[in-house]
Amino acid sequence: MSPGSRTGTTPALLTDLYQLTMLTAYDELGMRAEASFEFFVRHMPERRGFLLAAGLQQVVEFLEDLRFSEEELRWLEGTGRFKPEALRRLRDFRFTGAVDALPEGTVFFADEPLLRVTAPIAEAQLVESRVINLLHFQTMIASKAARCRLAAGDRHLADFGMRRAHGAEAALLAARACWIAGFDSTATVEAGRRFGMPISGTMAHSFIEAHDSESQAFADFARVHPRGLTLLIDTYDTVAGARKAVELQRQGAVVTGVRIDSGDLAALAREVRAVLDAGGCRSTRIVASGNLDEFWIADLLAAGAPIDSFGVGTRLDVSADAPYLDCAYKLQEYAGRARRKRSTGKATWPGRKQMVRRFRADGRIDGDLVALADAVPKGEGMLVPVMRGGRALAAAPALEESRARARRSIASLPEACRRIRDPEPLAARIDEDVRALADELDGTVGQRPR
């Protein structure tokens, strides 16, 4: 695990209060048996034909590092909510369990377990809030970023989302998720440092405005970037900006790109391309930005807009059209017995489960099966062992590896899943054994007479 990739240790108190309450209850009650919890998405968001797993590495780091600091314990003591023996227990708390999961960069669908945690119930329960917090966000962003990749074909895609991401960690993890999903670069410098991603950037309107004229601003920027520069040309008049870029290149500057951030991007890109080409700037690339998403990118390219590179920000980093996933981390087995929640609209499939994926001869996914883990022959399941005894089984995979897996996994999707508009996700087949187990539990647990 590369130390630089950690985004910092999570405070143990970054959890919901009821996790601590339940942990101490389990201890007091002597409930120490092993539990299995699974994280899954209940329903696909309307505009998603698939989801892309991301965030596992941060979950592993969190579970390995989880400790209550003396400062945290003192604060908990001060709340008067915890008995001395509970605080002693928290002081010694370590995650000692097992994790099985879909590797990052794997496509998946509703009802399929993305991650399974097996540990003494107090441990498996305590980690719920942060596990969801990490997996939900990166998976949501990777899933939208993957659609941007599909829409953009082989054009350059840059993450511009930091400013409207939800805080520092969101900005960094969004950049990471985009990278896994196939983006080419990020504007967020710290993400470049932590995750080894390429960074990219141009200039802001304020640089132009701080000069008395746009031409002067361009000339000044060229002076400090003699080896090549991207000019932002839409501050006043985009086509006039393109002409100034041509003029600047004539005077010896290396204008590698021009960026258009507003207006009718398709029409402007065509006009700008014509100006650049006529002016001998055939290799100058056109970068487009400004509230882009996969729909807009697809429309621009369908309209033949000669755009070489897209900067995608806000709508990606908040997953604007599907701003949360209906996901859960649920108890599936305790003390060797399957468990099931039956709340209206939120019932779960019980038992420790595995997902088996069948492929067709052409490499495309034929279908997914969710079966009881014990019934799946070793090596056939898509969830692989990740942690045992509280430790990662292997060094963190390089992000390049997750990125390559995402490319292959997305390529294996049926066409209907990959469509930008009206995609149709696959529905996993729930194995008969799982259904039978659910029926069996419905007939007993919870109905048992008092």
**Restricting to residues 224-263, which ones interact with its own copies according to CB under 8 A?**
224-225, 234-237, 244, 247, 261-263
Binding string, 164-183, against its own copies, x = CB under 8 A? xxxxxxxxxxx---------
- Stretch near its own copies under the rule CB under 8 A, chosen from 111-119, 122-130, 299-307, 364-372: 122-130
Who contacts 75 (Cβ-Cβ below 8 Å, separation ≥6)?
A: 13
Q: Is 422 in the site for its own copies (CB under 8 A)?
A: no
- Stretch near its own copies under the rule CB under 8 A, chosen from 72-80, 109-117, 292-300, 376-384: 72-80
**Count of C-beta atoms within a 10 Å radius of residue 359:** 11
Calpha distance 436→430 (Å, rounded): 10
Calpha distance 202→187 (Å, rounded): 9
Sheet holding 185-186, edge to edge: 185-186, 156-159, 309-312, 285-289, 255-260, 229-232
Among 2, 8, 302, 304, interactor with its own copies by CB under 8 A: 8
Q: Is 129 in the site for its own copies (CB under 8 A)?
A: yes
Binding string, 381-420, against its own copies, x = CB under 8 A? ----------------------------------------
Q: Is 77 in the site for its own copies (CB under 8 A)?
A: no
Among 48, 89, 144, 339, interactor with its own copies by CB under 8 A: 339
Sheet holding 115-120, edge to edge: 337-338, 326-334, 34-43, 115-120, 98-101, 384-388, 391-392
Residues 256-295 that bind its own copies (CB under 8 A): 261-264
Among 1, 13, 73, 301, interactor with its own copies by CB under 8 A: 13
Residue 59 CA to chain centroid, in angstroms?
Answer: 12
CB of 278 to its own copies, least distance (A): 18
Quick one: 84 or 363, whose CB is closer to its own copies? 84
Interstrand relation of 255-260 and 229-232 (parallel, antiparallel or unpaired)? parallel
Quick one: 84 or 167, whose CB is closer to its own copies? 167
Q: Is 137 in the site for its own copies (CB under 8 A)?
A: yes
Residues 198-217 that bind its own copies (CB under 8 A): 199-207, 209-210, 212-215
CB of 215 to its own copies, least distance (A): 5
According to DSSP, residue 140 is labeled H
DSSP string over 382-409: SSEEEEETTEESSPPPPHHHHHHHHHHH
Quick one: 331 or 383, whose CB is closer to its own copies? 331
Backbone angles phi, psi at 390, to 5 degrees: 80, 5
Among 10, 106, 143, 402, interactor with its own copies by CB under 8 A: 10
Applying CB under 8 A, what is the total number of residues that bind its own copies? 109
Among 64, 301, 334, 419, interactor with its own copies by CB under 8 A: 334
Calpha distance 6→57 (Å, rounded): 9
Among 346, 358, 360, 435, interactor with its own copies by CB under 8 A: 346
Calpha distance 230→238 (Å, rounded): 14
Q: Is 16 in the site for its own copies (CB under 8 A)?
A: yes
Residue 227 CA to chain centroid, in angstroms?
Answer: 35
Among 6, 270, 342, 429, interactor with its own copies by CB under 8 A: 342
- Stretch near its own copies under the rule CB under 8 A, chosen from 276-284, 310-318, 369-377, 401-409: 310-318
The pair of structure tokens assigned to 273 is 């391309």
Quick one: 164 or 418, whose CB is closer to its own copies? 164
Q: Is 160 in the site for its own copies (CB under 8 A)?
A: yes
CB of 391 to its own copies, least distance (A): 23
Q: Is 132 in the site for its own copies (CB under 8 A)?
A: yes
Residue-wise burial string across 121-155, b where 16 or more C-beta atoms lie within 10 A, e elsewhere: bbbbbbbbbbbbbbbbbbbbbbbbbbbbbbbbeeb
| R_g of the chain computed on alpha carbons | 26
- Stretch near its own copies under the rule CB under 8 A, chosen from 43-51, 87-95, 328-336, 413-421: 328-336
CB of 408 to its own copies, least distance (A): 28
- Stretch near its own copies under the rule CB under 8 A, chosen from 332-340, 371-379, 405-413, 421-429: 332-340
Segments of 78-164 assigned E as strands? 98-101, 107-108, 115-120, 156-159
Calpha distance 254→320 (Å, rounded): 37
Of 145, 159, 135, the closest CA to residue 48 belongs to: 145
Q: Is 128 in the site for its own copies (CB under 8 A)?
A: yes
Task: Write out the H or E segment, with its range, that includes residue 429.
Answer: strand 429-430
312 bridge partner residues: 159
Q: Is 434 in the site for its own copies (CB under 8 A)?
A: no
Calpha distance 213→220 (Å, rounded): 11
